[in-house]
Each structure stands twice: as C-alpha cells, then as structure tokens.
Chain A
C-alpha cells in the first residue's frame, strides 16, 4: 500500500501543483501549475522524482503533515525550512535544498515561507487524481489537487509508487534565480499606449501591491496611459502567464499561472518565459524594473536557464542528516508574518 500524508494543519497557500494543464485553454481552462517550475524541478530531483511530478506548493505558511503507512522521502526547495518530529519525539531540522526520509508516524511542519513560494516534494510524487491530464490545483475552477482547493486539516493525500531504490539523502546549494530587471517583449497591444507609456514602462520603478495571488499581481507605479485613438479596452483575446495587462487606471497587472485564458484589457508587453519563475517570488512592497529584450535574447536566456538547471541537478550530492536539535528554537520560527493575499481582480475578471 502506498504511503499516505495526513494533513494535521492546512494552509490557505498550500496547493498540489505540477507542470500544469496545457491542452484545454480553448475550453477556458487555465494553464495552472507551479508558479516556479524550477523550484518544483529541484524539489522533485532531491526526492528522486521526474521534474514535473506533483508536489506541494507552499505560499505564506507551510502545512503540518504526518506520514502514515510506511516511510517516505521528502525534499524541500525554496525560501523555507521545516522541522521533523520523529515518532519517538526527536526533532530534526529540514533545511531547504535537502531531502530527509520520514518514518511511519513522523510529522513535518513547514514554517513561514520567506519568499514567494517553496516546494515540498515526496518520493513517488503526490498522487491525487489527475483532472484533464494534470494534478495542478486551480482554486477558482475547483479542479485538480485535493478537491480543487488548498490543503485542510483532515485531508489524506496519496503518494505515488517510488521507482527505483531508496538511496540515501541528498542536497544541493540553493538554486538562485537571475537578478536584474524583468525581461519583456512588447505586445501584443503596445499600439494601445502612448509613446510616454512605453518609455515609462522601461524607465520607472514599479512596486508590488498586496493584490497578489496565483492569478496575478497588481503593480503600482506611474500611470501607463492608453492612447486615446486605440482605447482602454479591446475585444477580448488570449492572455497568458507573464502578460502585463493595463486596465483603464493605467496600473499594470502581471498575470501568473492561474490567469484566465482570455481578457479584455490591452497587454502592453509580456514577460519572457525565462523570467516567469522569478514572478513567483515577488512580494508586496518589492520594487522592480523592466527591460525590453529581443526574441533572440529571450531564447538564449531560456537556453542558459535550462543549462543552469541541468548543471544544478548534476551537482546533487549525498549527505548524512544532522542529529537532534533544540525543539523550542525550531518551533519559534513558525510565526506567521501577517501578510495577506486574498482578492480578485475586479472588473475584467468578472463576467
């Protein structure tokens, strides 16, 4: 029998995610999937899985879990740490970018997610029933994952069969995303904006607002003015993760994995594929800048990123887990920071 994960404490920011649900956008089904597919790939590799196996994506605060029915290797990737309590009472730290094997009855508590998103992978992958070819949770459509929602206390989550033997634990240094401005290609509707707006997009700082969820992030900055002749709205056409749509108030919205498939606001520019994983880590108050790149630059960035991930994966090394540590100190890190993300995107996302 496969090992089950019991959820002792849920978390509104924790959902099952994989590489997403392509192939159904013409039915109005969002792409979904991990906001940071590189983080997902790293966690999966440390747990001995394929890069796109389903794992737990954690935002804000991680869950408290218990393993039932056998032992289970787990791995953590991203700006987070977890503590493991052995069934006999010993407490161990699970730092990010490490794996650890939990025994039957052991519990794991993930702390505050300090950056935007972290991943907890389990050997064999999370084995919730796939819907439309994917286990990715889409909260708004209530599909995928655990009944289409975030993890709740009392949930019992199946894990998949592990292929191959259970090796020892492994770890790697943190996978670090590129820095610098977020790279964009203009379009598809840059002609709906004034020349000033196009300059401002590149010259100005933008600040991440508190209106942020898996569908998108509202930015604050100087107004990106629409060109009067072309107008503030368009006949709805396709939108995609990375698109920077600008409603009539001129404050742009960066779309993420759970965004709708179509939208009625002009899109001034679109973040290139290589930089989409970085969007997962933007937090309220962060300042950011944009830079325009050519298609050729976007392609080299994507190739370099692929090579960097391959090299990171090749550098995964075995290690021996640390011994007992001070329990009180560990649990004291599990204080929630008070940041709240819960909103819709108002007009244009409502019909």
Chain B
C-alpha cells in the first residue's frame, strides 16, 4: 500500500516507493489515471490538481471544500484499485543535432566512458526514454533509461546559461532544457522543437509524465531547416509522434 504524507493542510503526497524505476513510476501513473477517471465521474470535489513525480503523486485540495481525512481515505481506496502499471503516455521520435556547438560535452562524456562520440550518439539513439515527471522549470522533462555507461555527475560548477532546447544528461537521467537557464547537466545535443508553449492552454508542454521518447540524430542542415520552420510556427508536434502500436523508427 502507498503511504500518505501531508504536504501541509492542503495537499496529500501519495508515495509508492523511494526509488527511480519503471515499476514505481508505473504505479504512480496508474494512480494518476485512476484519479482522472474519478474526476470525470465527478468524484473528487475540492481537489484542485495532482502532480505525478518519480515515485509519488501529490494531490492538492482546498481544505474548505474537501474534508482532508475523508479525501485521504478515498485516495487510499483509489490507489488500492489502480492498475499496478500503466502505459498512459504518447510516443515520440525527436530530432537532435548531436555534438559540436550544440553538444559541447559529448566528447568528454564519451572519453569518460571509454567510448567514441559516435558510439555515444548510437547508444542515445537506440534507447527508449521514459518521461517520469516535469519540473525545475515549465516543460522540463526528467527522463529515465540512460544507459549506465553514459552516467556522469553534474558539472562541479554549473554553466551560467545552458542554451534553450539543449539535450542533457546526468546520473541515469536525461532531459531537455526548454528555455535558456543556468544548469549543471552534460550537454550532448539540441532539438529544433519547442518544448513549452504557454499559448497552448490544453497542452503547453511537449511531453507529459508517462511519455516514451527516442532521439533521431539529424545533421546541421536539417537542424537549421527545422529550426526555421519552428520559428515560423510550422513545426507541428504531431509530426514527431509515433503511433501506439507502430515499431520505433530505426
């Protein structure tokens, strides 16, 4: 059974484990899906929103509109009846320009793992990453699945400015910085796609928790072309979706 932890008087954190792994996250997403169904049935009055993370899901509520103890009981019941693993997400194949100015840490990361830069790109491009959660800044996806040979700690001194749309790794995680920001992850490449668009009220972030992602290496010329399309607002996200049953592009 999950643990219910109070995050003050207006939120419950429903915790399914304390690690970063697919099994724990599957339970988190199964619970989130159950919450969505309960809300659609009108059964979560006073609940404002919920936020899935690596290992837990926090449910925010208005303590004047919902009885906290009754809600806790309901959350326990919903968790007990939730699927133990849920693949709720969409699948994406996202173009990346690896190395060079776009990925200034590629060579160092390769050397640290005793690999060639080409071998690192090959590993990155043959791995399916899972979006565990969004956080740090709007649209920043924490993705798991990084092969162990590519694990490196954060930079001792973070960069003052990581360029927007940089593909970065640290530890066993992978992410893309949606906008320029200070950051200590290792930069391997860059995507021409926009990760966060506040004008899109229904789905402002490209990725959602539970999504699966593969990287498609592209050359500088394709990157420039796609970046220009993006600037003109013609680079539609759906072009990079992979159908649920389709094989991943090789």
From the candidates B8, B69, B142, B184, name the one contacting A350 in the complex (CB within 8 A): B184
Q: Decide yes or no: A237 and B58 within 8 Å by CB, A140-B137, A262-B136, A344-B182 being known contacts.
A: yes
Are the CB atoms of B9 and A260 closer together than 8 Å? no
| Most chain A CB atoms below 10 A, which of B69, B135, B138 | B135
Are the CB atoms of B15 and A237 closer together than 8 Å? yes
Report if A226 contacts B (CB, 8 A): no
Report if A220 contacts B (CB, 8 A): no
From the candidates B48, B51, B138, B198, name the one contacting A238 in the complex (CB within 8 A): B51
- Among residues of B, the one whose C-beta sits closest to the C-beta of A261 is B135
Report if A187 contacts B (CB, 8 A): yes
| Distance of A306 Cα from B56 Cα, bound (Å) | 32
Report if B191 contacts A (CB, 8 A): no
- The number of chain B residues with a CB under 8 A from chain A is 53
Are the CB atoms of B138 and A27 closer together than 8 Å? yes
Q: Contacts of B198 on A, CB cut-off 8 Å? A: 131-132, 143
* Closest-CB distance, A292 to chain B (whole angstroms): 12
From the candidates B19, B53, B63, B185, name the one contacting A351 in the complex (CB within 8 A): B185
Which residues from 264 to 281 on chain A have a C-beta closer than 8 Å to any C-beta of chain B?
267, 270-273
Which residues from 189 to 233 on chain B have a C-beta closer than 8 Å to any C-beta of chain A?
196, 198-199, 201, 204-205, 208-209
Are the CB atoms of B53 and A270 closer together than 8 Å? no
Which residues from 103 to 123 on chain A have a C-beta closer than 8 Å to any C-beta of chain B?
none
* Closest-CB distance, B51 to chain A (whole angstroms): 5
Are the CB atoms of B18 and A235 closer together than 8 Å? yes
Are the CB atoms of B139 and A27 closer together than 8 Å? yes
Q: Which of A18-26, A54-62, A322-330 contacts B (4 or more CB under 8 A)?
A: A18-26
Q: Which of A6-14, A83-91, A295-303 contacts B (4 or more CB under 8 A)?
A: A295-303
From the candidates A23, A24, A237, A271, name the one contacting B55 in the complex (CB within 8 A): A237
Are the CB atoms of A236 and B9 closer together than 8 Å? no
Q: Contacts of B142 on A, CB cut-off 8 Å? A: 236
Are the CB atoms of A188 and B5 closer together than 8 Å? yes
| Distance of A141 Cα from B198 Cα, bound (Å) | 10
| Distance of A187 Cα from B158 Cα, bound (Å) | 30
Q: Contacts of A272 on B, CB cut-off 8 Å? A: 8-9
Q: Contacts of A126 on B, CB cut-off 8 Å? A: none
Report if A180 contacts B (CB, 8 A): no
Which residues from 27 to 70 on chain B have a C-beta closer than 8 Å to any C-beta of chain A?
48-56, 58, 60, 63-64, 68-69
- Among residues of B, the one whose C-beta sits closest to the C-beta of A234 is B18
Q: Contacts of A30 on B, CB cut-off 8 Å? A: 138
| Distance of A244 Cα from B183 Cα, bound (Å) | 24
Are the CB atoms of B8 and A237 closer together than 8 Å? no
* Closest-CB distance, B82 to chain A (whole angstroms): 17
- Among residues of B, the one whose C-beta sits closest to the C-beta of A274 is B9
| Distance of A272 Cα from B64 Cα, bound (Å) | 13
Are the CB atoms of B53 and A262 closer together than 8 Å? yes
Q: Decide yes or no: A235 and B20 within 8 Å by CB, A185-B9, A270-B6 being known contacts.
A: yes
Report if A240 contacts B (CB, 8 A): yes
| Distance of A104 Cα from B13 Cα, bound (Å) | 52
Q: Contacts of A235 on B, CB cut-off 8 Å? A: 18-20, 54-55
Are the CB atoms of A306 and B54 closer together than 8 Å? no
| Binary per-residue interface labels of chain A (14-40) against chain B in the complex, 1 for a CB within 8 Å, 0 otherwise | 000000001111111110000000000
Are the CB atoms of A262 and B201 closer together than 8 Å? no
Report if A315 contacts B (CB, 8 A): no
* Closest-CB distance, B55 to chain A (whole angstroms): 6
Q: Contacts of A303 on B, CB cut-off 8 Å? A: 64
Are the CB atoms of A28 and B137 closer together than 8 Å? yes
| Distance of A181 Cα from B135 Cα, bound (Å) | 32
* Closest-CB distance, A231 to chain B (whole angstroms): 10
* Closest-CB distance, B131 to chain A (whole angstroms): 11
Are the CB atoms of B138 and A273 closer together than 8 Å? no
* Closest-CB distance, B32 to chain A (whole angstroms): 8
Are the CB atoms of A351 and B175 closer together than 8 Å? yes
Q: Contacts of B134 on A, CB cut-off 8 Å? A: 26-28, 261
**Which residue numbers of B lie inside 8 Å of A, CB to CB?**
5-11, 13, 15, 18-20, 48-56, 58, 60, 63-64, 68-69, 133-140, 142, 158, 175, 177, 179, 181-185, 196, 198-199, 201, 204-205, 208-209
- 19 A/B residue pairs, CB under 8 Å, sorted by A: A25-B60, A26-B50, A27-B204, A28-B135, A141-B137, A185-B8, A186-B6, A188-B15, A235-B55, A237-B58, A238-B58, A240-B7, A240-B10, A270-B8, A295-B68, A299-B63, A302-B63, A350-B184, A351-B181
Q: Can you add 5 more A-B contacts, CB < 8 Å, to A24-B49, A132-B201, A237-B53?
A: A143-B198, A188-B7, A298-B9, A344-B182, A350-B184
7 nearest A-B pairs in the assembled complex, by CB-CB distance = A270-B8, A262-B135, A188-B5, A238-B58, A28-B134, A298-B9, A27-B205
